[in-house]
Amino acid sequence: MAKKTGAEALGRFYTGGKVRSRREWRGFKDTMYDYSRWLVIMGTLGKFIIKPRNIKAMFRYRWMANYLAVPMMVDRHTQGLRGEYLRMCHVEQDLIIDDVAKLLDNLFRGDRRIGNDKEFSKKVVLVDENEMTAVMMGFPTLKTLSRETPSTYVPVLLNQHAVEYYLDKIEEFGLAPDVCPMPAAEAGVSVDDDAPILGACAIQCNTTCDGSLLSNGVISKRLEEDGIPVFQIGAPLRHREDDVQEYAAQEIRNAIAFIEEHTGAKWDWKEYFECARRVNVATRSRMEWLDMNRTEYPQVFGSNLALYTETNYMAICGRIPAFEKADRKLCKLAEQAYAKKNMMAREYRHRAIVWGVQSHYYFDFLLWILNCWGIVPLTDMLSMVSTKIIAEEDTPENREQAYYDMAWLTENMIMRNRTHGGYKVLLDELWEFVDQFNADMVILWEHTSCKALDGMHGMFEDRAREKGVHLVWVEHDLFDPRIVSRQGVRDQINSYMRTVFNEEPLDPSLEILDDANSW
Amino acid sequence: MRDLKHLIYFENLLVNSDNELIQQAKKDGKICAAYTCENVPEPLLNLDGVFSARLRAPRTGSMEMGTYYMTSLLCEYSRALLERALEGGFNFADCVISPDGCSMMNRCVENMEMLHTMDGGKDKFFYEFMEIPMKCDDNGLNLYVVQCQNHILKPLAETFGIDTSDAALREAVKKHNHLCEVIQQIGEFRKEENPRITGYEFCVLTMASFVTPYDLIIGKLEETLEEVKKRKPEKENPYRVRLAVVGSEVDDVDYIKLIEECGAYVCVDRYCMGSFPGRVPIEMNDEEDALTQICRHYMNMGQCPRYMSTNKLKGRKKYVDQLAREYNADGIIYEQIKFCDPWAYEKMMGGFVLEENYGFPVLQVDRPYNIDAGAGQMRTRVQAFIESIEIKKIQKGGEK
Amino acid sequence: MNKVTKALLIGTGAAAGFFGVTFTVYFFNLDMKLTALMEPIFLNHYDKIKKDSHL
């Protein structure tokens, strides 16, 4: 049977339709474990949909249809996994699902169109999906909610075609189609009147790119029309420079004052330092995993590293205790697997650093390169975030330091810490990581509409040649599979592996998949 | 109308980046501080012993090297600049100062630095990258001041011994303001119903003022102002409509020429390298230090879409409305260079707001850096826009 | 058969039934196959909602 890693041909489940023919048989123990987690997920979804207001929302918001595909997202990220790796994935995914379900529930509770709980809405501060939520760490009585996370960010993980409608919508209003589809889709949701309306105020930030900054303008216009005041945090772009840090800290002070003014809530230092402690737990855990990944037996990598880091580091930012528990669980599982010298695939052929902005509609690509070609994605750009330990003890000096720490986190939000900050953080540090992780190849996502990445294209090529490292470009358009399909993404790896490395796939059934119509 | 006496002279200054006035200033021993964006306060680069040159790459054809380094998906302005730098077209520069404004310009200058495009054999050459504010408030102003000190004044003083004192800054602003006043006075004639200067001519004069040393250009500009004061317009207004051109970086005078060839008069220019806000004088007082006042002017006047606060978002559209009304524009062309993210959004939002809220007919266009690469398409769109405005005028009984 | 045994048998039977049904749904991906059928109905519904679309 298929107890052994890599025993089942994973490609044969693809039918050409939205969903797969069946779930994987992983041997009795792992299948039963996966089944039990499936039951838990179904329970989470059942608990969510049983509420009348959530049913109402299901019929109001187009993006809610994507949540029909939740279990399939989990299946995509558990493909071929056994033992500790399967458990790690479920620890993460199940927690993320639970967190998103709570986020949706809260959004609809306060939404003027749905639950219209006015008192609740007064305690809500809206934040952007791509925004570090550090500035909310000292507001335990307020609800930090993102409308973009459930309307655009998560849906593309669930269904590759999720935001095509919203992209078309914003382009109907004249937006050039060459801008990054992530902020464009967020703007599309806003102009299409498809965002929940709630909150005492909103905090935006110039997050990852020019597109993101500008799309916030589209959204803030609508928020203001709805009577929701907006504060924009202008986080410095050259975030490694000393002479921008005072400005950055002042932006945080101003943001906190704005929130206090519009919600009546008071900043709570005790809560802040407790969150800071949890941020440090997450940082130490991530550093431990990265250390393991430098060895011959990497343990927390691929989707298990990338998706979890994105959620825990940025959206959670120490505010939810359950993630600390998950961090510890993950460390335990990783240590167990490391002690046993376990491997996630039956053969590791190449050690790769995955750089650039990865395709959101094909997030499980990291697992695919492992299962199909035996390429170990040791780490990825979005997981290489701040490793700075922030002040966690409540002292007068640390209260002042805290503003700088929050500013640092905000400046170093995921993706932003590499796309901004000059070429050192994007280009030079990549090659340092290649050495540190003993990688023999770099898989470089070329997100076609990411100008910050594209602008370094030639220098990446030049440096790879100088260092003699295999560099594989993988083009995609982040949220829009109509530009480069999932198979189009795979083909770029396939052709490199066959023509340059002259290799055959580990699992040939995965080389070409009929998943263009799939969720 | 009679041709302007110095028009060909000004046009010739725009044919190459390395124009004769830059060469002359260099021969006179002056330092050339090159820059790439309106967010760098120009007077700070025009202190005694140094002059500014805003980088542009006229007559750009192929951009293969620029495209190799930055892909075909970055704005052509940034690729054209890199291409020109790699060709040695900016070797006159002694330093480059670039704000981390948009990602593309930032990457362009970073590539220039890494590829050592201009610094070969120049011991003192430096690249400086500035952080510039994204909001118009006290915190933003403090940042601006610190950044200008650290990334403009300090390196100029330490590397080239330039006097960056408050008095030196005030002197530079005085000269800058005089230049702005001359340009503004010439631009005022665009308000006339039958104007005595074309939008193209004005564009040439303004553009020349950005790419040449002040001391060497001001005389000819003053002379041109006097000439325009006495100039007689055509007997009949040759233009069918009056248009405001708004948008991203334009340093291609042929773009304005093309619009006017279609029968529209470009009555006001609100784009990077245009006269608004680039040639608006800086108001100064004696109480506050000069640097803070300069930075405040650039921050308050800045129309770059990267300014993201609500007051700026609304203010940009209001500014366009104000200019369009002041200069009696019948319609507005919102333009962006293809692949420019900031202006892709601003063009969409501005176009919508100016049309829906302020009642102007608006044409939104993407354009190539060098208009010759897309002249036919642009001409068709501008002609159709002009006709649509005319039809609207007829429908309203000839009244605006 | 005493009551306890009976209860145990019913309990076991119910659990086995629950397991049998849910495991079949799980293994053959029937949950996803059902929701895949539901999606077009929802999309059709969303197209009919009147919204205040504007910039």
Sequence length of chain B is 400
Rounded Cα distance, B261 and B371, in Å: 13
- Number of neighbours of residue B376 by Cβ within 10 angstroms: 10
Assign A129 a pLDDT band (cuts: 50, 70, 90).
confident
Task: Find residues 137-176 of chain A whose CB sits inside 8 Å of chain C.
Answer: 169, 173
Q: How far is C26 from chain B (nearest CA, A)?
A: 45
Residues 6+ apart with CB under 8 A from B352: A173, A174, C55
Q: In terms of Cα–Cα distance, which of A507, A298, A318, A501 is closest to A409?
A: A318
Rounded Cα distance, B372 and B368, in Å: 8
For A136, the token pair is 């909310």
The stretches of A301-375 forming alpha helices (DSSP H) are 303-309, 321-339, 365-373
Q: What is the DSSP string of B70-133?
A: H-TTS-HHHHHHHHHHHTTTTTT-SEEEEES-SHHHHHHHHHHHHTTSS-TT-TT-EEEEE---
User: What is the largest distance, in Å, between two alpha-carbon atoms of chain C?
Assistant: 73
Strands B241-247 and B331-337: parallel
Q: How many CB pairs under 8 A join A and B?
A: 164
Q: Do B339 and A178 touch (CB under 8 A)?
A: yes
Beta bridge partners of A444: A355, A473
For A119, the token pair is 């008192």
Rounded Cα distance, A290 and B363, in Å: 52
Residue A59 near chain C (CB below 8 Å): yes
pLDDT at C40 over 60: yes
- Mean pLDDT, residues A398-412: 96
Rounded Cα distance, B20 and B387, in Å: 41
- Number of neighbours of residue A95 by Cβ within 10 angstroms: 20
Q: How far is A239 from chain B (nearest CA, A)?
A: 9
- 8-state DSSP, A25: P
Chain A partners of B117 at a C-beta cutoff of 8 Å?
none
Residue A341 near chain C (CB below 8 Å): no
Rounded Cα distance, A454 and B140, in Å: 29
Q: How far is A91 from chain C (nearest CA, A)?
A: 19
Kindly report the pTM of this predicted structure. 0.95
Q: How far is C1 from chain A (nearest CA, A)?
A: 32
Residue in chain B closest to A184 (alpha carbons) equals B345
Is the distance from CB of B264 to CB of B237 less than 8 angstroms? Answer: no
Is the distance from CB of B343 to CB of B105 less than 8 angstroms? Answer: no
A228-269 pLDDT per residue, tens: 999 999 999 999 999 999 999 999 999 999 999 999 999 999
Rounded Cα distance, B156 and C10, in Å: 89
Rounded Cα distance, A343 and A5, in Å: 9
Rounded Cα distance, A406 and B214, in Å: 45
pLDDT at A323 over 60: yes
| Sheet of strand B264-271: strand arrangement | B264-271, B241-247, B331-337, B362-367
Amino acid present at A423: Y
Rounded Cα distance, B62 and B59, in Å: 10
Q: Do A243 and B306 touch (CB under 8 A)?
A: no
Q: Is the peptide bond before B277 cis (omega within 30 degrees of 0)?
A: yes
| Model ipTM value | 0.94
pLDDT at A108 over 60: yes
Output the 3-class SS for B259-324. HHHCCEEEEEEEECCCCCCCCCCCCCCCCCCHHHHHHHHHHHHCCCCCCCCHHHHHHHHHHHHHHH
pLDDT in tens, chain B (400 residues): 899 999 999 999 999 999 999 999 999 999 999 999 999 999 999 999 999 999 999 999 899 999 999 999 999 999 999 999 999 999 999 999 999 889 999 999 999 999 999 998 899 999 999 999 999 999 999 999 999 999 999 999 999 999 999 999 999 999 999 999 999 999 999 999 999 999 999 999 999 999 999 999 999 999 999 999 999 999 999 999 999 999 999 999 999 999 999 999 999 999 999 999 999 999 999 999 999 999 999 999 999 999 999 999 999 999 999 999 999 999 999 999 999 999 999 999 999 999 999 999 999 999 999 999 899 999 999 999 999 999 998 888 755 4
- DSSP, collapsed to helix, strand or coil, labels residue A348 as coil
Rounded Cα distance, A251 and A234, in Å: 7
Neighbours of chain C (3+ CB pairs under 8 A): A, B
A146-193 pLDDT per residue, tens: 999 999 999 999 999 999 999 999 999 999 999 999 999 999 999 999
pLDDT at C29 over 60: yes
- Mean pLDDT, residues C8-37: 96
Q: CA separation (Å) from A3 to A73, A80, A133, A337, B309? A: 22, 10, 41, 16, 57
- Number of neighbours of residue B319 by Cβ within 10 angstroms: 17
Output the 3-class SS for A263-275. HCCCCCHHHHHHH
Using CB atoms within 10 Å of the CB of residue B62, give its burial: 0 to 12 exposed, 13 to 18 middle, 19+ buried: exposed
Q: What's the pLDDT score for residue B399?
A: 54
Residues 6+ apart with CB under 8 A from A392: A273, A276, A277, A280, A398
Residue B78 near chain A (CB below 8 Å): yes
Residues 6+ apart with CB under 8 A from A308: A92, A96, A326, A330
Q: At what angle do helices A83-110 and A321-339 cross, to 10 degrees?
A: 170
Residue C55 near chain B (CB below 8 Å): yes
CA A114 from chain centre, in angstroms, equals: 28
Q: CA separation (Å) from B66 to A307, A431, B86, B129, B282? A: 35, 23, 8, 20, 36
Q: What's the pLDDT score for residue A7?
A: 80
How many C-alpha atoms does A19 have within 13 Å on its Cβ side? Answer: 26
Rounded Cα distance, A156 and A73, in Å: 10
Is the distance from CB of A312 to CB of A386 less than 8 angstroms? Answer: no
pLDDT at A318 over 80: yes
Task: Find residues 187-226 of chain B whose CB sits inside 8 Å of chain A.
Answer: none
Residue in chain B closest to A218 (alpha carbons) equals B349
Rounded Cα distance, B137 and B131, in Å: 15
Beta bridge partners of B245: B269, B333
Task: Compute the C-alpha angle A124/A71/A510, nearest 5°.
Answer: 130
- DSSP, collapsed to helix, strand or coil, labels residue A395 as coil
Is the distance from CB of A221 to CB of C55 less than 8 angstroms? Answer: yes
Q: How far is B279 from chain A (nearest CA, A)?
A: 26
A44-75 pLDDT per residue, tens: 999 999 999 999 999 999 999 999 999 999 99
For B300, the token pair is 């308050």
Strands B362-367 and B50-54: unpaired
Q: Do C38 and A68 touch (CB under 8 A)?
A: yes
Q: CA separation (Å) from A519 to A135, A183, A357, C25? A: 35, 21, 21, 19
Beta bridge partners of A229: none
